[in-house]
Structure 1
Amino acid sequence: MSVIRITKQFSFETGHALYGYDGKCRNVHGHSYKLSVTVIGSPITDTRHVKLGMVIDFGDLKKIVKEEIVDKFDHATVFNKNTPHLELANELSQRGHNVILADYQPTSENMVVDFAEKIKARLPKEIQLHSLKLQETESSFAEWHASDH
């Protein structure tokens, strides 16, 4: 039985501010994120199955990532819930803006860990999350690999 990795890519726009940071990123700013999601499994071999030959239907993977990540983070502003920007976050929320108060500093590194946990929880038991790549800029990204955990 073959083990195959498949990857689906996603894009979303998210703003954030890094509480306590000593550089420009302490200010509210945004990124055009690109997220690559790679899962691993064996293609379905049951000839009666409508998804014969697939590890997972790309549409099913898209639904999971869209619901857990893209729909929540796209055009949202993410703050560390311990930020002194809490007043700003509340004001933005009251004005109808999508604000996420995270339990972590919203760096690419922490976001990719958060995303991995959310995606893993939704995958069918026979499919494993292999890796994530969260690209923040053209030249900067964070990666999560199951083999490291």
Structure 2
Amino acid sequence: MKVCITKAFTFDAAHNLVNYKGKCEALHGHTYRLEIKVCGDSASLDNGLLMDFGDLKNLVDNEVISKLDHTYLNDRFPQPSTELVAMWIFETLKPHIERLNLTLSSVKLFETATSWVEIV
């Protein structure tokens, strides 16, 4: 049986899209919502837990939130689209999750309450 846990985070950042014609070419900011979903086999439950939510929080805070919160995303990404930022988050977290013999099932990054990207 497969078991998954999901933890949500928020961070604030500014960006502008490069080589793009439209509203988002101007400097603007978002309060991003980030959801991280980790899965594993129920046989791997340790003390009834797939992964402690606190451990997942610490991992995401250290590897992602601390690097993106209250920053200008263009300093880190040549084109800071939600798609490319979400892909970076996935690739950043994946090896850490795999070292725990778990799977990073998805990363959802919400730019607004009604618009998001999901990496699976």
TM-score by length of 2: 0.91
Number of residues paired by the alignment?
A: 118
Write the distance in 1 (CA, Å) between the matches of 2:82 and 2:76. 15
Correspondence for 1:63 among 46, 58, 61 = 58
Q: Aligned-pair distance for 1:139?
A: 1.1
Q: Aligned-pair distance for 1:118?
A: 0.4
The unaligned stretches of length 5 or more in structure 2 are none
The unaligned stretches of length 5 or more in structure 1 are 46-50, 80-99
Aligned residue type for 2:86: V
After superposing on structure 2, the runs of 4+ consecutive aligned residues of structure 1 that deviate more than 4 Å are none
Correspondence for 1:76 among 59, 71, 83 = 71
Relative contact order, higher structure (CA 8 A, sep 6+): 2
* Cα displacement string for residues 22-52 of structure 1 (whole angstroms, at most 9, x for unaligned residues): 012111110000000001013445xxxxx50
Aligned residue type for 1:134: L
Match of residue 129 from structure 1: 104
Aligned residue type for 1:132: V
* Cα displacement string for residues 82-131 of structure 1 (whole angstroms, at most 9, x for unaligned residues): xxxxxxxxxxxxxxxxxx332x4111111111000001021134111001
Correspondence for 1:138 among 108, 113, 117 = 113
Write the distance in 1 (CA, Å) between the matches of 2:69 and 2:40. 29
Question: What is the percent sequence identity of the aligned residues?
Answer: 36
Bigger fraction of residues in helix: 2
Equivalent runs, 1:106-121 vs 2, <5 Å: 106-121=80-95
Write the distance in 1 (CA, Å) between the matches of 2:82 and 2:71. 15
Q: Aligned-pair distance for 1:60?
A: 0.9
Aligned residue type for 1:35: L
- Alpha-carbon RMSD: 1.3
Aligned residue type for 1:21: Y
Write the distance in 1 (CA, Å) between the matches of 2:59 and 2:15. 23
Q: Aligned-pair distance for 1:63?
A: 1.0
